[in-house]
């Protein structure tokens, strides 16, 4: 099992992904990198000289953010660094991961940029121990939004991770993001319609209320449902 791996969902613009890769300052990746190309044209094929150790999978139908992250998590490294293409590393990736490994515990690591601003889930390390405890991200949040709230609440219920401040350190790593490019890189804006109210309704139906007002500790208020339960998504388009 690898100690680290990375996964980057991408939909566009291509220049955003190229700048992210260039900021890693590596001709050969220090850890396996999975790029999930959700663009309708498979535009990652236009990049000349991807770093060694990079694998690209193409999903022109757009898997969306949770399913793209899950592709990486299912490969089972001790830590999976989920990265938006809007992130820019200010030190070589190998150096960044060395510092992150000193801070992370088995459940993962919540990252802050060098100015002390939270990166949210634009850059976060998931520990395999978290996945083993509560499962993968709910792919019903398509193409994105509320999947992070859902996973964070499940961590809270399981009493693990930074939601409770239990053994989940934070690190002001040397990174930054480029603002609105986050939405573009995640596959939300421009190419895929989404219904925010429908996503919020699904969340409330699952947990008895919107984020910070949840009522239940079992999905859909059914004690028979473990924290990794979510219904088979109906959204996925045919490729």
Residue 50: give its domain's CATH number.
3.90.550.10
- pLDDT number for residue 235: 62
Q: pTM of whole model > 0.95?
A: no
Give long-range contacts, CB 8 A cutoff, 24+ apart: 20-23.
20/83, 20/84, 20/85, 20/86, 20/87, 20/88, 20/185, 21/47, 21/50, 21/51, 23/87, 23/88, 23/89, 23/90
Instruction: Give a yes or no: residue 202 inside a domain.
Output: no
Cα-trace Rg, the chain: 17
Q: How many domains does the chain fold into?
A: 1
The whole-angstrom separation of Cα 5 and Cα 136 is 16
Comparing CA positions, the residue from 122, 158, 111, 155 lying closest to residue 137 is 155
Instruction: Give a yes or no: residue 141 inside a domain.
Output: yes
Residue 184 has pLDDT above 90, yes or no: no
Instruction: Give a yes or no: residue 217 inside a domain.
Output: no
pLDDT digits (tens, 9 = 90+) for 76-102: 999 999 999 888 998 999 999 998 888
Instruction: Give a yes or no: residue 106 inside a domain.
Output: yes
Helical pair 147-158 and 196-207, crossing angle rounded to 10 deg:
20
Is residue 25 within 8 Å of residue 16, measured between CB atoms? Answer: no
- pLDDT number for residue 195: 80
Instruction: Give a yes or no: residue 189 inside a domain.
Output: yes
For residue 104, the enclosing domain spans 4-194
Residue percentage of the chain with pLDDT more than 90: 60
Is residue 181 within 8 Å of residue 187, measured between CB atoms? Answer: no
Instruction: Give a yes or no: residue 226 inside a domain.
Output: no
- pLDDT number for residue 1: 63
The whole-angstrom separation of Cα 162 and Cα 9 is 24
Instruction: Give a yes or no: residue 66 inside a domain.
Output: yes
Query: Exposed/middle/buried for 187, CB within 10 Å: 0-12, 13-18, 19+?
Result: buried
Instruction: Give a yes or no: residue 97 inside a domain.
Output: yes
Could you count the other beta carbons within 10 Å of the beta carbon of residue 100? 20
- pLDDT number for residue 187: 43
pLDDT digits (tens, 9 = 90+) for 124-173: 999 999 999 999 999 999 988 899 999 999 999 999 875 333 445 677 77
- pLDDT number for residue 192: 53
Residue 106 has pLDDT above 60, yes or no: yes
């Amino acid at each position: 099992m690898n100690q680290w791996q990375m996964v980057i969902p991408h939909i566009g613009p291509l220049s955003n992904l190229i700048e992210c890769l260039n900021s890693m300052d590596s001709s050969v990746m220090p850890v396996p990198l999975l790029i999930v190309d959700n663009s309708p044209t498979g535009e990652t094929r236009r990049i000349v000289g991807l770093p060694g150790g990079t694998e690209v999978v193409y999903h022109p139908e757009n898997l969306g953010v949770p399913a793209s992250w899950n592709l990486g998590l299912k490969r089972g490294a001790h830590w999976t660094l989920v990265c938006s293409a809007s992130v820019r590393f200010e030190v070589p990736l190998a150096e960044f991961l060395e510092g992150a490994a000193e801070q992370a515990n088995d459940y993962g690591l919540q990252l802050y940029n060098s100015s002390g601003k939270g990166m949210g889930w634009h850059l976060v390390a998931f520990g395999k121990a978290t996945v083993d405890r509560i499962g993968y991200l709910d792919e019903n949040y398509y193409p994105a939004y509320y999947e992070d709230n859902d996973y964070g609440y499940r961590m809270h219920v399981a009493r693990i991770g930074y939601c409770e401040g239990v053994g989940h350190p934070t690190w002001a790593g040397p990174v930054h993001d480029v603002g609105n490019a986050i939405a573009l890189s995640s596959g939300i804006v421009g190419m895929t319609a989404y219904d925010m109210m429908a996503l919020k309704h699904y969340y409330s139906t699952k947990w008895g209320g919107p984020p910070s007002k949840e009522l239940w500790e079992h999905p859909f208020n059914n004690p028979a449902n473990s924290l990794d339960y979510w219904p088979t998504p109906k959204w996925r388009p045919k490729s």
